[in-house]
Homo-oligomer: A and B are copies of this chain.
């Protein structure tokens, strides 16, 4: 739950940001699970987080000594910073391992921030997710077996494709779990298509503080 909340808190730990930039980072981080984050989600969430005290507003344009008569009030960019309570909140959310972290979206965000957790948590989430997908897979298998004659060819094809996606994801999760148990990084040695270059197998440095001043 609360995909955005977790993601925003996570990103603001690296650097303060304003909404527009946050959206771009969000889209970069979650591009695999969510096409693009809508402002209709982002801004209300920001306000919610601010009201809860997890983040704080820090208006830009560093205190103009010049008195501008506020023609249309010259809307400055609003930069958000994470608070100490926000960091606690993030730690609390990222450490969750219940069924609420196994859904498609929730799993995606948690996975994207796996470098901020410990190995035990990662393992629990990966195994829970696998369980969830295995159940979905069984459901589809049953459907394709028992109720096949009641469904038309297109529906059947859709199920078949969904089933294949499940099988693939289970295999993926299995590899990740094996890697995790052996203490290695998430990288699979060779995969065929999709992104060849990468040989640094070092476990992800837990902190890495990069920033990007515009």
Which A residues contact B (CB, under 8 angstroms)?
28-29, 31-33, 35, 103, 108, 111-115, 136, 139-140, 143-144, 147, 150-165, 167-168, 172, 176, 185-188, 191, 193-195, 198, 203-205, 208, 210, 212
Contact = CB atoms under 8 A, between A and B. Distances in A.
B154 A114 contact: yes
B152 A161 contact: no
Given A112-B154, A152-B205, 20 more contacts: A28-B147, A28-B150, A31-B136, A31-B140, A32-B140, A32-B158, A32-B163, A35-B136, A111-B154, A112-B158, A113-B154, A115-B152, A115-B153, A115-B154, A144-B195, A153-B187, A160-B194, A160-B195, A167-B194, A168-B168
A212 B111 CA distance: 43
Classify the secondary structure of A's interface with B. helix
B29 A155 contact: yes
Contact of A161 (B32, B157, B161): B32
A102 to B, nearest CB: 11
B158 A194 contact: no
A113 B143 CA distance: 17
